[in-house]
Chains A and B, each alone.
Chain A
Amino acid sequence: MNKKALISTQQLIKHYPVGGGKFTALKDINLNVISGEFTGLVGPSGSGKTTLLNILGALDVPSEGNAVVLDHSIGNLSHKQAANLRNMYFGFIFQTYNLLPVYTVYENVEFPLLLQKLSHTERDKAVKQALEWVGLTDKIKSRPAQLSGGECQRVAIARAMVKVPKIVFADEPTANLDAENSHNILQTMLKLNNDIGTTFLFATHDEKVITYLRRKISLNDGEIVDDKVI
């Protein structure tokens, strides 16, 4: 049975102005990602992984071509619509965790739910569940500065997963972690992918991540050079 694509791009191009001219970061990207995938955009630095991830995550817009995510054409969304799409359906995990330093672990994880205007009871239940998924229920009152890198990234995963999003975009999630923490994080994400069915899309050049991927889309100089299911 053919599953409907959650993400679909056609002839997607992204230019950036550089000096008087322009730099093409993505060239003619055609891509489909279906629900439940655990897929990685793989390639060296400057290959366009993060740019593509940002466009698919509605944080940026294509210069030409089309990117449709969850039936929304990214290039045609208003700021408000894009924000709503990110808030309701996307989760983000960043290389540098991007936790809010003045918030506790609980408050960081709760943050996306506050934007969804859920009740206190609903938020509390979801936050505790998410922290249980990543094994951080004992750190609920800690602040990011009191946590290790691995713990911070687990909080970031909990924050991304707390609203049970359709897609999680993870940009170099293990780049700042040691091997052991990297494997723990990836196992956690894989487990969530299996248990909840959330689609994961990585941007990475970390071999440790690549071994966990079920589909590898290789980019080089802004072009897809290889796309294979492992």
Chain B
Amino acid sequence: MLSIKLAWRNLIGAGLRTWLNVFVLSLSFLIIIWHKGIIAGWDRQAQRDTINDEIGGGVFWHKNYDPYDIFTLVDAHGKIPEKMQTEIKKDKLSPILITQATIYPEGRVQTILLKGIIHSQTVVNIPTAKLSTNMEEIPAVIGTKMAKNNNLKVGDVVTARWRDANGVFDADELKIVEIFKTNVPTIDNGQVWIPLSKMQSMLQMPGEATIAITAKEDGLRKNVGSWIFKDHNYLLKEFKEMIKMKNFGGYVMWLVLLSLAWLAIFDTQVLSIFRRQKEIGTNIALGMTRGQVIKIFTVEGVMYGVLAAILAVLYGAPLLYLQAKNGMVMPEGSDEYGMAISDKIFPYYSFGMVLITATITLISVIIVSFLPTKRIAKMNPTDAIRGKVQ
């Protein structure tokens, strides 16, 4: 109790110097938590968008389908089994037929993935309803990035060329009927969505599909014949690895910030012990043990940490809350990151994350506060009283 009282008195007595240290430390606290919040918010947003827009409750893959090997598409298609047909009728499964194709926007050659999807599906958030139209050309919807990269607008007509089931080249006109905004690049970049029935007839693959997306809420979740069910754990594995990597980057940043905080505390303590030698000697002369002096200095360091945490809450909590509510606008070009990232990220601060981060920071601050005080134990009080450098 005495050491708390004296440490507090010393901190308050030091005035502006104390508050500067506390402010710098509170900034470290805040930035560490903010950065973790951004990563957590990104993780949540990206998972949610990927599920809503691309993978639903999981995806059935044709046994030959390999998304990383474009050449497998030639063989990765098959008749949709009866059991899956029933689900499709209930709009709990959305079959997609995929093939490689080429389009010629403004005379340039662009390799794309042509995807056939049922226009009435509601399993994923793609505006497929727009594909339900009678026109001479094949109606197509594309994402904003695809539109931007190829300078395509709604109403534009572009020639597409593909090979059918027999390997014969064929071509037709595609008409852009809708451009949709999505945060998931894998359904946007280089992708063109057309009606499934049209695609099946173009490729001479009636009743066939390459993959089938299940509804989020319920539906089939087990392999059906040669159709392999891939659940979230599998489909989001790569994404989770990427988040893990980003998190690792976050930990590095955390460590850098934490090191700055440690450095601030350590330097303050070392400087304090050096500058306050006379005070230390006087305290010992007045009847303090070295242990008591060490305790006071350590408590002072801890108080810096506690005050910084309180200050961080006072000015940081409203700031973090506002940002969590209004989101953080991502800079231009962030869509090139290769993973689902929206224009705005809403940081997510869980109580556990804030508590664990603050606790780890505080504990490390306590340790760092204590380390330099070991010099006190080696001090000769008679030299310290005179302020003699030791």
User: Which among B8-16, B74-82, B347-355 touches the partner chain?
Assistant: B8-16
Interface residues of B in 13-56 (CB under 8 A from A): 13-15
Flag A78-95 by CB within 8 Å of B: 1 or 0 each.
Answer: 011001101110101010
B64 contacts the other chain (CB 8 A): no
> Is B125 at the interface (CB under 8 A from chain A)?
no
Q: Do the beta carbons of B282 and A98 come within 8 Å of each other?
A: yes
In Å, the complex CA distance between A59 and B280 comes to 13
Q: Does A115 interact with chain B (Cβ within 8 Å)?
A: yes
Give the nearest-CB partner of A51 in chain B.
B382
A111–B9 alpha-carbon span in the complex (Å): 11
B382–A102 contact, CB under 8 A?
no
Interface pair B385/A59, CB less than 8 Å apart: yes
Residue B175 interfacial (CB < 8 Å): no
Q: How far is the CA of A90 from the CA of B285 in the complex (A)?
A: 9
Interface residues of B in 256-307 (CB under 8 A from A): 278-279, 281-282, 284-290, 292
A172-205 near B? 1/0 per residue, CB < 8 Å: 0000000000000000000000000000000000
**Interface status of B5 (Cβ within 8 A of chain A):** yes
- B358 within 8 Å of A (CB atoms): no
Closest approach, in angstroms, between the C-beta of A99 and any C-beta of chain B?
Answer: 8
Known: A102-B10, A103-B13. A57 touches B2 (CB 8 A): no
User: Would A86 and B9 count as touching, CB distance under 8 A?
Assistant: no
Most buried by B among A54, A83, A94: A83
Q: Which residues of B contact A60 (CB under 8 A)?
A: 381-382
Nearest CB in chain A: distance from B10 CB, A:
6
From A86, A107, A117, contact of B286 by CB (8 A): A86
Q: Is the CB of B382 within 8 A of A111?
A: no
Task: Say whether B281 contacts A117, CB under 8 Å.
Answer: no
B6 at interface (Cβ–Cβ under 8 A)? yes
Least CB distance from A60 to B in Å reads: 5
CA distance in complex: A57, B385 (Å): 13
CB of A114 within 8 A of chain B? yes
**Which residues from A are CB-within-8-Å of B387?**
96
CB distance from A221 to the nearest CB of B (A): 19
The reply to whether the CB of A147 lies closer than 8 angstroms to some CB of chain B is no
Q: Which residue, B6, B284, B382, B387, has most C-beta atoms of chain A within 10 A?
A: B382
Residues of A near B382 (CB, < 8 A) are 50, 54, 59-60
Please state if B286 and A92 are interface contacts (CB–CB under 8 Å).
yes
In the bound complex, residues from chain A placing their C-beta under 8 Å from that of B285 are 57, 59, 86, 92, 94, 98
Tell me, in angstroms, the Cα distance from A112 to B10 when the chains sit together. 15
Considering only residues 33-60 of chain A, those with a C-beta below 8 Å from chain B are 50, 54, 57, 59-60
Interface residues of B in 369-390 (CB under 8 A from A): 381-382, 385-387
Q: Are A83 and B14 in contact (CB under 8 A)?
A: no
Q: State in angstroms the CA–CA spacing of A227 and B387 once bound together.
A: 31
Complex Cα gap A60–B381 (Å): 8
Q: Is the CB of B287 within 8 A of A86?
A: yes
- Assuming the A-B contacts A83-B284, A102-B9, A111-B286, are A117 and B14 also in contact, with contact meaning beta carbons closer than 8 angstroms in the complex? no
A116→B2 CA distance, assembly (Å): 10
Name, among A79, A80, A98, the residue most crowded by chain B CB atoms within 10 Å (CB to CB): A98
Asked if residues B288 and A115 are in contact (CB atoms below 8 Å), the reply is yes
Question: What would 15 A/B residue contacts be, using CB atoms closer than 8 Å?
Answer: A79-B289, A83-B288, A83-B289, A83-B292, A86-B285, A87-B286, A96-B278, A96-B386, A98-B279, A102-B10, A103-B13, A112-B286, A114-B5, A114-B6, A115-B287
In order of increasing CB-CB distance, the 9 nearest A-B pairs are A87-B287, A102-B13, A98-B282, A83-B289, A86-B287, A92-B285, A54-B382, A115-B287, A112-B286
Chain B: residues with CB nearer than 8 A to chain A? 2, 5-6, 9-10, 12-15, 278-279, 281-282, 284-290, 292, 381-382, 385-387
Apart from A112-B287, A115-B2, what are 17 other A-B pairs with CB-CB below 8 Å?
A59-B284, A59-B385, A83-B288, A84-B287, A86-B285, A96-B278, A96-B386, A96-B387, A98-B278, A98-B279, A101-B13, A101-B279, A103-B9, A114-B2, A114-B6, A115-B292, A117-B2
